[in-house]
């Protein structure tokens, strides 16, 4: 389905929301913006959660895009906002 269709975003979000439901049921609280899954986790559990997401995508037959992944880190840009969990700040990157 072309993303230019008004109904495409709805179809994609409903599909990926179902995937986030599966993860949430397993105690891995994620949120999803169309095709972008994101989460925060303690240092002890972060790798485990990240790997479970990878494994679930494979299991469901979803193709991920590893080159666009952000593995567990203290700083990442998400939805256009730079998040830093060490100094607990949100900043808007320069354009």
Partner 1 sequence: MRAAPQYNFQQAKRTLTTTFNLERWNFYLKDYNDVVVTAFLQYGWPISHSADQLPRSTLQNHPSARQHPSLVCDYIAQELKYKAVIGSFQCNSFSTDCVISPLQSVAKRDSSVLHVVHNLNFRPGQSVNDGIVRDEYLSEPFHLCLPGIDRLVEFINCKGPGCLVFKKDLKCADNFISIPSCCLVYIQLL
Site for partner 1, rule CB under 8 A = 1-18, 21-22, 25, 29, 31-43, 46, 49-50, 53-54, 57, 59-65, 68-76, 78-79, 81, 83, 85-86, 88, 90, 95
Shortest Å distance, C-beta 31 to partner 1: 4
Give how far Cα 61 sits from Cα of 4, 27, 41, 45, Å: 24, 21, 25, 24
Shortest Å distance, C-beta 9 to partner 1: 6
Shortest Å distance, C-beta 7 to partner 1: 5
Residue 49 carries which DSSP code?
A: H
Give dist(CA 47, CA 53) in Å, integer.
10
H or E stretch at 31: strand 31-33
């Amino acid at each position: 389905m072309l993303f230019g269709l008004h109904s495409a975003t709805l179809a994609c979000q409903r599909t990926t929301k179902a995937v986030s439901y599966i993860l949430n049921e397993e105690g891995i609280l994620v949120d999803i913006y169309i095709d972008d899954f994101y989460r925060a986790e303690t240092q002890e559990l972060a790798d485990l959660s990240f790997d479970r997401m990878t494994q679930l995508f494979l299991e469901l037959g979803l193709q991920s895009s590893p080159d666009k992944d952000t593995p567990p880190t203290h700083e990442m840009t998400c939805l256009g906002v730079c998040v830093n969990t060490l100094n607990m700040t949100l900043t808007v990157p320069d354009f």
